[in-house]
Amino acid sequence: MTSRERVTAALEGREVDSTPVAPYFWGAEYSWKLLGMPLWEVLHGPGDMAMAVIDAIDRRHGPDWITQTHASSGMLVGKECVGEDATCVRFVDQATGEEYVFHKEGHWLLPTAEIGMACLDHGAPAADPPDSREEADDWLRRHCPHVFREPSPAAAGRALRERFPDRFLCGNVPPPFAGVAYPMGFEPTMVLLQRNPSLCAYMIERLLCHLPECLRGLAAQGCDGIMMVDSWASADIMSPDTYANWIAPLHRMVSDQAHAAGLKSIMYNTGNLLPLLPCITSLGFDAISFEERIKGVEMDIADMRRLAGPEICLFGNFDAYLLLAGNRQRIRDQVRRQLEAGGPRAFVMGTGSPVCDATDPAVVDFWFDLLRGREPL
């Protein structure tokens, strides 16, 4: 089986020749060391480093899937490095003389004059949420004007598909609930969901108006599936009834429209899903991916399998902190437990969270070797 066939078979609950391995890597985090470049250059240097990041991960580890990612912001273009110490790298803008600092641990790049300042305004007004559809539309026109425009043509190009013909290629789609909460702000969105859930659902649906074109574009680029990451639509944020009545129908819409475009659908949620699983498993997603733990709640793979049932594909939530710590016996034990509790069918070995930046690549190699049969379990 090719990687592409292996992941597709797992999503469909069919037998595979080996467990697919599909961990999360977050942009330039961790992957910069595989490129042999300083982190700040991968994060903020010139050019689009996204393909370089993906290529480096594939060459070193060979995962069964490729996920679309991001890398360089371009913020260091025109800036010269003038010094480095244990915690920071300093730059000067050659045109303006303004000084910038890159923090090695926090990974932020800021003008020196802004360090220590609090950012209190993220673009949305500090006001009550809308009370009517008219007010909602007015807010959307001001803050999310793309809703009222014709959708932009999807980027043509099949560079990822051509570079990785045998890998399962997974694209990303806008998150429904978080898609409102990010621009409006978490607290106003939660107030809106409590006061007027139907209006909250209306705004979500408006923000998803270009989803069909987005999905058709991903299919044209050669994607095999999509991942919907709705981080705040979980039981630590909202009640199971609220989720089932107002958010779940919108999640089902994403899955249904993905299938209409010929794409597999994967839900990844970084919250407590256990109380929501009876509803989530009815929404038509081909697979569910979940975090290791959330606010003290352990997302145990055995509990997830028991509640989800044997048919729906689960992504393993291997603990990224185990990889960071590097204890090989504990890693071996956890791999064995994940495979026994989650598999063998309808299972993809994943990480609950992206591989941590400080993780030793040799430890990730060892994890892959266990799963590929190159190291004994």
Phi-psi label, residue 123: left if phi above 0, alpha if psi -120 to 50, beta otherwise = left
Beta bridge partners of 111: 100
Given this model, what pLDDT does residue 368 score? 98
**Integer CA distances (angstroms), 189 to 118, 207, 240, in order:** 22, 14, 17
Q: Can you say how many angstroms the Cα of residue 113 is from the centroid of all Cα atoms in its chain?
A: 32
Say whether pLDDT at 140 is over 90. yes
Given this model, what pLDDT does residue 48 score? 78
Given this model, what pLDDT does residue 118 score? 59
Given this model, what pLDDT does residue 139 score? 94
**Topology given in CATH for the domain delimited by 3-37+49-70+148-372:** TIM Barrel (3.20.20)
Say whether pLDDT at 295 is over 80. no
> Where does the pLDDT of residue 46 fall: very low under 50, low under 70, confident under 90, or very high at 90 and above?
confident
pLDDT digits (tens, 9 = 90+) for 306-359: 999 999 999 999 999 999 999 999 999 999 999 999 988 999 999 999 999 999
Query: SS3 helix, strand, coil % of the chain, rounded to 5?
Result: 45, 15, 40
Say whether pLDDT at 125 is over 70. no
Given this model, what pLDDT does residue 198 score? 97
> Where does the pLDDT of residue 301 fall: very low under 50, low under 70, confident under 90, or very high at 90 and above?
very high
Of the listed ranges 57-71, 149-163, 284-298, the one predicted with least confidence: 149-163
Average pLDDT, the chain: 92
Say whether pLDDT at 120 is over 60. no
Q: How far is Cα 72 from Cα 333, in angstroms, rounded to an integer? A: 37
Given this model, what pLDDT does residue 355 score? 96
Residue scoring higher pLDDT (52 or 7):
7
User: Residues 176, 240: contact at Cβ < 8 Å?
Assistant: no
Residue scoring higher pLDDT (74 or 7):
7
Given this model, what pLDDT does residue 187 score? 92
Burial letters 218-249, b for 16+ CB under 10 A, else e: bbebbbbbbbbbbbbbbbebbeeebbbebbbe
Output the pTM of the full model.
0.91
**Integer CA distances (angstroms), 146 to 150, 156, 206, 211, 261, in order:** 8, 20, 10, 12, 22
Query: Which two structure tokens, joined as six digits, stand for 259?
Result: 């299938």
> Where does the pLDDT of residue 156 fall: very low under 50, low under 70, confident under 90, or very high at 90 and above?
low
Return the domain boundaries, the chain: 3-37+49-70+148-372
Query: Which two structure tokens, joined as six digits, stand for 182?
Result: 């990010």
Of the listed ranges 118-132, 134-148, 234-248, the one predicted with least confidence: 118-132
